[in-house]
Amino acid sequence: MMDKSEKIFVAGYRGLVGSALIRRLEAEGFTNLPKRDRSQLDLADEAGVQNFFVQDKPAIVIFAAAKVGGIKANNDFPVEFLLDNLRVQNTVIRAAHESGVRKLLFLGSSCIYPKHAPQPIPETALLTGPLEPTNEAYAIAKIAGIKLCQAYAREYRANFISAMPTNLYGPNDNFDLETSHVLAALLRKAHEAKMRKAREIVVWGSGKPRREFLHVDDVAGACLFLLEKYDSPEIVNVGCGADISIRELAELICDVVGFDGELAWDATKPDGTPRKLLDVTKLNNLGWRPTIPLRDGIVRTYDWFLKNVAR
| Within-domain flag for 15 | yes
Instruction: Render pLDDT for 8-31 as a digit per residue (tens, 0 to 9).
Output: 999 999 999 999 999 999 999 999
Whether 182 is covered by a domain: the verdict is no
Half-sphere exposure of 213 toward its Cβ, with a 13 Å CA cutoff? Answer: 25
Q: Does any domain span residue 80?
A: yes
**Assigned domain for 227 exists:** yes
Residue 128, in any domain of the structure: yes
Domain boundaries, position 106: 8-173+212-242+277-293
pLDDT of residue 20: 98
Number of domains in the chain: 1
Taking 90 as the threshold, does the pLDDT of residue 307 lie above it?
A: yes
Average pLDDT over the chain, rounded to an integer = 95
Residue 156 appears among annotated catalytic residues: no
Pairing status of strand 210-211 against strand 244-245: antiparallel
Q: What is the pLDDT of residue 132?
A: 87
pLDDT tens figures, 91-111: 999 999 999 999 999 999 999
- Taking residues 37-55, report their average pLDDT: 94
Alpha-carbon distance of 192 to 180, in angstroms, equals 15
Decide if 107 contacts 223 (C-beta within 8 A).
yes
Does a structural domain hold residue 68? yes
Q: Which residue among the candidates 13, 138, 152, 169 is catalytic per the annotation?
A: 138
Per-residue pLDDT, 70:
67
**What CATH number is associated with residue 21?**
3.40.50.720
Q: Calculate the dihedral angle through the C-alpha atoms of 96, 98, 103, 105, rounding to the nearest 10 degrees.
A: 40
Q: Taking residues 116-144, what's their average pLDDT?
A: 95
Q: Is residue 183 a part of any domain in this protein?
A: no
Which residues lie below 8 Å from residue 34, measured CB to CB, with a gap of 6+? Answer: 7, 9, 56, 58
Phi/psi-derived region of residue 48, left when phi > 0, alpha when psi is between -120 and 50, beta in every other case: alpha
Evaluate whether residue 86 is within a structural domain: yes
Mean pLDDT of all residues in 37-53? 94
